[in-house]
């Protein structure tokens, strides 16, 4: 651990995430969206909270090679009968290091973890009773797969699920002409807006619209997100005066927003 304190003495093990939380408050924006959302979730380091993942037991770690790269899934078992599982899904995995024999003890409980920015995305180190697991990846999601509190982090759909909106956003972004008649911003914006496959209902779309206002201008706005994107790319010019580069920049910003938003909601593209 670089910041979190983990000390083992004759009396037991003592952990203090305080130094890491102070670092996180100042530098957490440097983390990828999914990792940042998990690191800053209020239950994550609240050791007194029943849904804090601390104390969950190492269950299994699986890796899979896909056309898009390597994925890893780390599953921690909660305590109690028919307990839920805490699932961490890593996308764009670069390195996995396992130190210790996590299967050699009746329980190898999670003691503390910390997420730090890395040139390849994020480095996530988890300290268990039996040793450590470190994963370097592009990004991750984390959450309970079973019953948990309504505000608790939840395990989203798997990255490869076709109804995963982050996967859909990445697919559409790389194949615009398969989905739209042209690559102009008004056409693309209409295709990813209200009523499209990206949004499970009207409320989900309204939430994105409000989030985009905060992301682009620092607060909610009555102006549409499409207009705000236009102001960022070509301020003061109508669409019919835009160049091809203007349209390309606005489309790129649109998908940047979608990918960041979906990551904050717990989705990582497959």
Q: What is the pLDDT of residues 52-90, one digit of tens each?
A: 888 888 988 888 887 778 889 898 887 654 457 888 989
* Predicted local distance difference test score (pLDDT) of residue 82: 43
% of the chain with per-residue pLDDT over 90: 37
Do the Cβ atoms of 110 and 126 come closer than 8 Å?
A: yes
Q: 106 in helix, strand or coil?
A: coil
Do the Cβ atoms of 125 and 108 come closer than 8 Å?
A: no
Please tell me the pTM assigned to this model. Answer: 0.60
pLDDT at 107 over 70: no
Count the alpha carbons within 13 Å of 95 in the hemisphere toward its beta carbon: 11
**Greater confidence, 51 or 109?**
109
pLDDT at 102 over 80: no
- Smallest CA-to-CA distance from 170 within 150, 198, 146 is with 198
Q: In what order do the strands lie in the sheet with 121-128?
A: 95-100, 131-137, 121-128, 110-118
The predicted model gives 154-160 an average pLDDT of 54
- Smallest CA-to-CA distance from 137 within 69, 86, 58 is with 69
The Cα–Cα gap between 216 and 224 comes to 11
Tens digit of pLDDT for each residue in 23-49? 999 999 999 988 998 999 988 998 888
The Cα–Cα gap between 211 and 38 comes to 18
pLDDT at 191 over 80: yes
- Smallest CA-to-CA distance from 86 within 261, 270, 269, 266 is with 266
CA distances from 70 to 67, 95, 256, 260 (A): 8, 9, 22, 21
């Amino acid at each position: 651990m670089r910041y979190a304190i983990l000390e083992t003495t004759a009396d037991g093990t003592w952990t203090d995430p305080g130094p890491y939380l102070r670092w996180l408050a100042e530098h957490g924006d440097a983390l990828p969206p999914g990792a940042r959302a998990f690191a800053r979730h209020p239950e994550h380091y609240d050791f007194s909270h029943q849904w804090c993942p601390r104390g969950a037991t190492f269950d299994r770690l699986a890796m899979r090679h896909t056309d898009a790269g390597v994925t890893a899934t780390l599953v921690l078992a909660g305590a109690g009968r028919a307990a839920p599982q805490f699932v961490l899904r890593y996308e764009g995995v670069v390195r996995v290091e396992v130190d210790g024999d996590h299967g050699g003890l009746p329980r190898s409980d999670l003691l503390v973890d910390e997420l730090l920015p890395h040139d390849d995305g994020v480095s996530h180190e988890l300290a268990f009773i039996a040793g450590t697991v470190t994963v370097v990846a592009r990004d991750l999601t984390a959450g309970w797969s079973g019953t948990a509190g309504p505000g608790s982090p939840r395990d989203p759909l798997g990255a490869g699920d076709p109804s995963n909106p982050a996967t859909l956003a990445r697919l559409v972004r790389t194949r615009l002409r398969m989905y739209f008649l042209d690559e102009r911003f008004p056409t693309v914006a209409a295709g990813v807006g209200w009523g499209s496959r990206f949004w499970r209902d009207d409320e989900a779309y309204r939430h994105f619209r409000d989030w985009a206002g905060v992301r682009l201008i620092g607060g909610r706005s009555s102006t549409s997100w499409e207009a705000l994107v236009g102001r960022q790319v070509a301020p003061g010019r109508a669409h019919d005066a835009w160049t091809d580069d203007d349209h390309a920049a606005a489309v790129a910003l649109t998908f940047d927003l979608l990918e960041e938003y979906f990551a904050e909601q717990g989705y990582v593209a497959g």
